[in-house]
Amino acid sequence: MTTLLLTRDFQKAGQQYYQDMGIVRAHVQTPSGKVFLDSIPVFDPDAQTFDVIEDNCYAFAASATGKGRVQPGFFGTGVNLSNLGRPRDFERYRASLHESLLADGAVYLGESFSGCLDKGVPMAIFFRQGQNFDYDCMALRRMFDKFSGQYERLAFANKPDAFAICPEDRRSTIFGEAARRNYGVFGGYYALKNRSGPALD
C-alpha cells in the first residue's frame, strides 16, 4: 500500500521543489525534453479561458476549463464528488481524494515531481484541516520567456479567484501561496494528463 505524503514542513518541501525544478528545467533544454515541454499547457494571464464561477482549481490543473467545477475522479468515473460527499475524517478524506485522482489517470509522484518527465504534467496538492476539509492544487505551466520569445519558462500556477496566478511572479513559491491561503498541509505531487494538448507516449 502506498504511503501518502502529508507534511507541514514547507521549508523541507520547498528545498525539494527547487531541486526538482532545476532537474526539469535542465531536461527541457535537451532535444528529448522538447516532447515534455510541448506537453505542458501554456499559461497566459491575458488570455485565460476559465470562468471564476464555472471553473475551479482542479479544472485549471487538469486543463479542463469549461467543463464546470470538476472534482478529482470525474474524468475516470463520471461522478463529481464534492468535499461534502467525502469522508469527514481527514486521513480518509485525503485517501478518498487520492483514489479519485488515480481514477482520473493521475500518477502519484510523492514528495518529488522530477519523476514526471515521462508521466504527465505535475500538480501539487495542499490541504486545509479543521471543521471543513478542503484541498487546493497548483500545476506546472509554460509561460512566455521574454528573452527567447517562446512559451518555455516553467512555473507552477494556480487559479485562486477570478484569475490564475503564478506564485513565482508574486515573489513567492507554491508553499508560500498555499500558506497565505491557509492550506497548511502538503500532500505531494501527481502527474496529470494534459486534457487540452498532446499527450506523452
In a domain, 184, yes or no: yes
Count other Cβ atoms within 10 Å, centred on residue 99: 11
Q: List residues bridging with 108 in a β-sheet.
A: 190
Q: What is the per-residue pLDDT for 119?
A: 93
Q: What is the per-residue pLDDT for 198?
A: 44
Range of the structural domain that residue 23 is part of: 10-192
In a domain, 201, yes or no: no
Query: Using one digit for the tens of pLDDT, what is the confidence trace for 11-45?
Result: 999 999 999 999 999 999 888 888 898 889 888 76
In a domain, 151, yes or no: yes
In a domain, 150, yes or no: yes
Q: What is the per-residue pLDDT for 201?
A: 41
Question: Edge-to-edge strand order for the sheet containing 150-157?
Answer: 107-110, 185-192, 121-128, 134-145, 150-157
Burial of residue 38, with CB atoms counted within 10 A of its CB: 0-12 exposed, 13-18 middle, 19 or more buried: middle
If one counts the domains in the chain, the total is 1
Contact between 108 and 102 (Cβ < 8 Å): yes
Q: What is the per-residue pLDDT for 54?
A: 77
In a domain, 197, yes or no: no
Q: Which residues of the chain are under the pLDDT cut of 70? A: 1, 45-52, 160-164, 196-201
In a domain, 199, yes or no: no
Cα 185 from Cα 127, distance rounded (Å): 5
Q: What is the per-residue pLDDT for 199?
A: 44
In a domain, 36, yes or no: yes
